[in-house]
Chain A
Amino acid sequence: EVQLVQSGAEVKKPGESLKISCKGSGYSFTSYWIGWVRQMPGKGLEWMGIIYPGDSDTRYSPSFQGQVTISADKSISTAYLQWSSLKASDTAMYYCARQYSSSPHWYFDLWGRGTLVTVSS
């Protein structure tokens, strides 16, 4: 089955670090871009960045550049989103999604179920 499986919900304190994951299966993980999308509680979708696992080419939204790091380990078909110092405002659902193309000018055709990150003291 073609799917993206995301890691489980996290509860963290402000200032802590975090790395969440997105594992692709059923397709050639290294051949297609993976993006990350934030959805704050009750709000809309915000694109954060994308990575091409084949060569780790990574592009960030200016809104998230420097705030998060996107990476991938192609040996285990997994993409990551990480924070070095969480803030309460990072509380959100985070989705990974695939672009079924080697071109980044593509739509997101497959989505993970999301990872809920809660940051609270």
Chain B
Amino acid sequence: DIVMTQSPDSLAVSLGERATINCKSSQSVLYSSNNKNYLAWYQQKPGQPPKLLIYWASTRESGVPDRFSGSGSGTDFTLTISSLQAEDVAVYYCQQYYSTLYSFGQGTKLEIK
């Protein structure tokens, strides 16, 4: 099984500042035949279902603000919010879909400092 580990578990950032969340997989999620990383990021606000933000590690879902970006390859990935807004308070999850035994990271709680 592929284990996804996020860091930190929680994060407090001032409004307008950059927030960075890391995700590490226990094995590579890069598929060599198409050079795609099978890694997605989701945002979950209180009382709401998860919402897809980023897929293929760096492709922003339609309608997602461009302050959200994803990067990384292989086993190490990062979600960056370039300028934190109040509405970005949420728990963020990474997920691998390289293996159909899908797995999520434990989540990172993002708050306003």
Chain A contacts to B: CB under 8 angstroms? 35, 37, 44-47, 50, 59, 61-62, 95, 97, 99, 104-109, 111-114
When the two chains form their complex, are residues B51 and A45 in contact, meaning their CB atoms are under 8 A apart? no
Q: Which of B26-69 contact A (CB under 8 A)?
A: 31, 38, 40, 42, 44, 48-52, 55, 61
Distance (Å) between the CB of A7 and the closest chain B CB? 14
When the two chains form their complex, are residues A105 and B93 in contact, meaning their CB atoms are under 8 A apart? no
Chain B contacts to A: CB under 8 angstroms? 1, 31, 38, 40, 42, 44, 48-52, 55, 61, 91, 93, 95, 97-98, 100-107
Q: Which of A35, A44, A109 contacts B102 (CB 8 A)?
A: A35
The 3 A-B residue pairs whose C-beta atoms are closest, nearest first, are A107-B40, A111-B49, A47-B102
When the two chains form their complex, are residues A105 and B104 in contact, meaning their CB atoms are under 8 A apart? no
Distance (Å) between the CB of B13 and the closest chain A CB? 21
When the two chains form their complex, are residues B52 and A45 in contact, meaning their CB atoms are under 8 A apart? no
Distance (Å) between the CB of A13 and the closest chain B CB? 26
A108 CA to B44 CA, complexed, in Å: 13
Known A-B contacts A44-B93, A95-B49; A105 and B101 likewise in contact (beta carbons under 8 Å):
no
When the two chains form their complex, are residues A107 and B55 in contact, meaning their CB atoms are under 8 A apart? yes
